[in-house]
Structure 1
Amino acid sequence: MATYRSLVVILALLSPADQPAATYACRADTRFGRHTLSLRQAVDAQAPATVAANTRFTIAVHSQQGTLPTEVKGFKLQEVRDLTLRIPVPANSAYLSATLTGGSGLNSTPSVQLEGNTAVLKVSGPIPGGATFQLPTLSVRLRAGGKGTIETKLKGTSYDDPGLTFQAKIKWKFLSTTAPVACYPDPNPALTRTAVT
């Protein structure tokens, strides 16, 4: 149980508390059992307010800088790795391409690819405890559909349908353990709204 409490604190510090943030409901599968927790990830997004039907436009999802702690109540956070963030292609639009820009402190080259109808940003890391890092901005080029509204949202509806996943490695005394963490946004309001005219 003590290891679980330290993991909760670690996840709470992934993003600054004074930034606008998405709230994720998360589940960590540890050697001590499954535990639920909450995670704030500071994120904002941009998209045009209006576009004409059947024209191209871009949405950009930007995660703010965060810092991992080195130690929490005697537990050492060794690293976070294999972080994956998923952004669904909005309804009433068609995917054309996706690019990544910026990002720092990731100790690997991020990648983005389309999986089904979802743009998937992957960072293998590892990001060590105590490191300051920032995910790259994900820009998705789309073609608008017919008249209506296009909303950008985060992916995820449950622990079994996560929008954010990663591995957290923690050391306590002589024991190191890696906990896979699966998260979904709760609530999940629209990050952007574009009117198609």
Structure 2
Amino acid sequence: MSTTMERVRGASDDDSAQQRVGEDLANLTTQLRAWLHTHPPATTASADTVEQLLGLIDQTALRRYVKSAAHGEDFDVVIGAFKARLEAAADGAAKWAHVLDEFECADAVVLLTAHRSKGLEYHTVFFLGIHERQWWAYKKDPIEGTSTFFVGLSRAAHRLIFTTDRADRTSGIADLFTMLAEAGVPEIDHG
């Protein structure tokens, strides 16, 4: 959370600004915990909770951050989605801890395109179906296609698993299979 607040405030390379962010985060956490303690999820509208949180932070800086970090995303749409997700997570919950666990979806599987995953990292990444029909643009621009391929595979911190069929080994994306073979990526045939 502090890293995100440092980015929101543009304090990533300034030690004194980082210290202020730490102090502000501690203050925000204290205030939010006190408010949540007196407003249980069963009787508090999710929209009210989000508004309370937004009242504790610099919305101008947050708007600027959302605009720069999520190109094309509208702040009000992001907040609306946040409210809807919080409402779904709070449905039937008695404690905020349960709401936050549900909201975070720590055990969920995240499905992303290679482009959308840029800058993220996961323990295990699956490439579902390396097929020519899914990598149709590769033939038009192999350099960009290879770059996109590496953006996707570099999201894996510990394990990377590919699924495919043998037919595409000689198709327009054969170079991708050659790179994997040259890198020593083991194959398991479940055919």
Instruction: State the TM-score, normalizing by the size of structure 1.
Output: 0.21
More helix by share: 2
* The structure with more radius of gyration: 2
Query: Quick one: higher RCO (CA 8 Å, sep 6+), 1 or 2?
Result: 1
